[in-house]
Every structure is written in structure tokens, then in C-alpha cells.
Amino acid sequence: MSTQTGSGHPPYSVQVGIPAAVLRAKRVRRRMDLTLWEKLYLMEIVRGLVVTSKHFFINMWGFIFPPAGKKRKVFTVYYPEEKLQLPPAYRGRPVLVAHTDGTEKCVACGLCEKMCPAHAISIVAAERAPGERYPLRYTLDLGRCVYCGYCEEVCPKEAIVMSDEYQGLAQRDRNALRFEKEQLLRPEGKVKTRLDYVRRIYSKWNY
């Protein structure tokens, strides 16, 4: 049986090339009534304790008796003494990229400010010389940022990128999450891995 579109178009299965039999919906029967034993939750509590205890003893055993050649068996990061090497796809704090002379690559075009769905960016533009724009102020409110990466994607100058920085993003005072241009500038070398990555993925999608 094929699904009809009802608009004169061929059936959906024909359009997408999936055999009609595969498209048949399966009825899922959900049993909503719990037995008295299930309502007591005793067994579930015991099962939860078993899982927790299992992980506890595996971790402890792996820590005390690490296999030969390994510091420890169980993968545990002792933050902040140890830090993870994050993959380039990770989207941490957005940062501004600086030229080698320390000036910002940003030309204050305002695209990122316009595109940001959380209204986290505000820019005050100025001119260094006639026609040479730069951000006099560039404020990023990380209390609003949702780390979507649109600012990075839309920037025509590769002037803002999602870094692998995650320290200091949890604060009690929201004002501490407002970052100014001077706090956001990073040398290009520091964000090179991410820049290479975005060049790769954006060219893949033919931007």
C-alpha cells in the first residue's frame, strides 16, 4: 500500500523510492498501568543501586590496579589540574580573531549582530581612516549566547570563531559574562584548528 499525497502528486513511496511496504506504520502498545510491585519502586531502587555500585567498584579497581602501560584504566579527568583536548567541532566561547599586529580582523559590518538569535552581540562601529571601519566597542553577552555558531558562519572576514574555551562561563553574576573586545581578541594561531575546521565544513556545504 502506498501513501497518497492527495494533491495529484505520485505516492510518497514512489517519490522517495522507498518500497510502500516499508512505510507501513507500526502500532506501538504502551502499557500505562503499573503493577503493585512496580508501583512500590523497590526493585527499581535496587536496580539503580546495582548500576551505581558497579560503576563505583569498576572505577576504584581500575584506579588501584591500572593495566600495564597505562596510568589508569578508567577514563577520568582530574579537572582543573588536567584538561581535555576538545575536538575542533566543539563550540565554546565565541572569540574575535586578531591580525598579527594585534588589531581586530572585524570590520564592524554588523552581520553577526544582526544574525545573532539571542541578541548577544552589540557593536559600536567607527572609522580608522575614511572607509576603514573597525569596532570601537564589541560587546558579547555570554549570559545570552546559545553557542549556535551563526556569528561565526555569517562573518565574511573570519573575524569571529567559536573557540574551545569553556572556563569562566559559569558565573553567579550575569554582568561577569559580558565580554568586551579587548577580552575577546585572540591571535589567529590560537584558533587555527577551529578556523581550518570551519573552512572545511563550510566548503563542504558549498557556502
Q: Which residues bind ligand SF4 (CB under 6 A)?
A: 94, 106-112, 115-118, 120-121, 123, 140, 145-151, 154-155, 157, 159-160
Q: Find the helix or strand (DSSP H, E) in which 167 lies.
A: none
Which one, 33 or 145, has the nearer CB to ligand SF4? Answer: 145
Report in angstroms how near the CB of residue 53 gets to ligand SF4 at its nearest: 41
Which one, 14 or 169, has the nearer CB to ligand SF4? Answer: 169
Is the four-CA dihedral 72, 77, 82, 84 of positive or negative sign? positive
Q: Is residue 207 within 8 Å of 150, Cβ to Cβ?
A: no
Q: What whole-number distance in Å separates Cα of residue 138 and Cα of residue 148?
A: 18
Q: Which three cell numbers stand for residue 197?
A: 575546521
Closest CA to 120 of 101, 148, 83: 148
Report in angstroms how near the CB of residue 97 gets to ligand SF4 at its nearest: 8
Report in angstroms how near the CB of residue 113 gets to ligand SF4 at its nearest: 6
Which one, 23 or 148, has the nearer CB to ligand SF4? Answer: 148
Whose cell is 518500497? That residue is 19
Which one, 63 or 207, has the nearer CB to ligand SF4? Answer: 207
Report in angstroms how near the CB of residue 94 gets to ligand SF4 at its nearest: 5
